[in-house]
Chains A and B, each alone.
Chain A
């Protein structure tokens, strides 16, 4: 910066509106940068999330299916508002459904994806979004613990409804040392998901026309 410019700046600085203008200017510049960054990353984030979605769909559906799950959906009123259900087909027949469930965890909502076969048996559960305490509650992620696999093969009846809870509440599912609220929330959301399946079973499984 040259001396002349500095002199000019000194004069500007003395003006009443100068601090406000600087703050406003910086605010404008940074919001501009954020808007640009948002646009630049929007598609990549969407693609990454779609890939994640596809992966979690595949993980909770160990069996074979032939259709594109992301396209074969039905929307039904679920436990927390409208729920998109992804359907897996074999030979045109619905063999399993996948849908999202959520419950309030220790530090915010925990969103899981669960797969249920025609008979209401759990194929798998994956937590896809949570803000639980790292090192304590995050053992619900398959990368950090085996716990999430304990749902596989379970259905309402095995264990019976009153035992569909963490051990501390008299149920069959383990809790974590130092974190009971997190697994309790996941168990609760899965139980709600199974109840939803039982209630909407006929509509979920009606084969209809494959899109």
Chain B
């Protein structure tokens, strides 16, 4: 069983990462990664929705028939997103002022539906929720990375406005990487998202290839490490 969770973790964070491997959820990936903070906020909100939606879909999996599963999942996801939206608005209003713009976008993230369809409807609640958590964290990692790169090249800062998202305690995250930087608009505008994503995808391929080669090499030795 623990093996299952190791796989879920590895899949979500790297091997089957929503952005870098499945190339899903491109709408928020391109739209909100103008800065690392925005990427982080969107990623965390999406993670919350994915954990809940995966758990719910797994819960109703024996009741729902294949013909109506897509509308049922969509209704569930849309409801969850709305619930998250109104609760943040009511009880974390300062956070809402930062994240409010993006939360409704989560419904349009096909990765949420994708996980319901590809995984959660086939397994029990616990692995389904774990998958939502790991996929969400992988998504958060990808968005923060893309946002960070675009922000450094585009505006010369990193994690600007982090205190609005995480509270004043995290103001130390806000750094000016390049002082007196004039800004490079292309990176902030949508093309920057495509450029950075393209380079990152290529980079991941190269890295995965290297890792695979390295994994093959020790296998030739007399005592391979069990794994």
Instruction: Verify if A3 is at the interface (C-beta below 8 Å from B).
Output: no
Q: Which residue of A lies closest to B63 (CB)?
A: A22
**Residues of the B chain whose Cβ atoms lie less than 8 Å from the Cβ of A138:** 101
Answer whether A143 and B161 are a contact pair too, CB < 8 Å, given A44-B90, A136-B34, A178-B189: yes
Q: Are A27 and B87 in contact (CB under 8 A)?
A: no
Interface size bucket, A side?
20 to 34
Q: Are A178 and B185 in contact (CB under 8 A)?
A: yes
Instruction: Verify if B13 is at the interface (C-beta below 8 Å from A).
Output: no
Which B4-52 residues sit within 8 Å CB-CB of chain A?
31-32, 34-35, 38
**Residues of the B chain whose Cβ atoms lie less than 8 Å from the Cβ of A135:** 32, 34-35, 38, 188
Checking A22, A48, A144, A178 against B89 with a beta-carbon cut-off of 8 angstroms, the contacting residue is A48
The listed residue with most B CB atoms (<10 A of its CB), out of A40, A143, A177, is: A177
Q: Are A52 and B87 in contact (CB under 8 A)?
A: no
> Taking chain A's interface residues, is the majority helix, strand, or loop, or is none over half, making it mixed?
helix
A184 vs B65: C-alpha distance when bound (angstroms): 52
> Taking chain B's interface residues, is the majority helix, strand, or loop, or is none over half, making it mixed?
helix
Instruction: Verify if B177 is at the interface (C-beta below 8 Å from A).
Output: no
In the complex, per-residue mask of A163-204: 1 if CB is within 8 Å of any chain B CB, else 0? 000000000000001100000000000000000000000000
A66 vs B67: C-alpha distance when bound (angstroms): 65
Answer whether A9 and B164 are a contact pair too, CB < 8 Å, given A134-B32, A178-B185: no
A160 vs B198: C-alpha distance when bound (angstroms): 49
**Residues of the A chain whose Cβ atoms lie less than 8 Å from the Cβ of B188:** 135-136, 177-178
Answer whether A44 and B91 are a contact pair too, CB < 8 Å, given A30-B75, A34-B82, A134-B34: yes
Q: Are A22 and B64 in contact (CB under 8 A)?
A: yes
Question: Using a CB–CB distance below 8 Å, which chain B residues touch chain A?
Answer: 31-32, 34-35, 38, 60, 62-65, 67-68, 71-72, 75-76, 78-79, 82-83, 86-87, 89-91, 93, 101-102, 161, 164, 183, 185, 188-189
A and B contact pairs by CB, cutoff 8 A, 5 listed: A30-B75, A34-B79, A41-B89, A131-B101, A177-B185
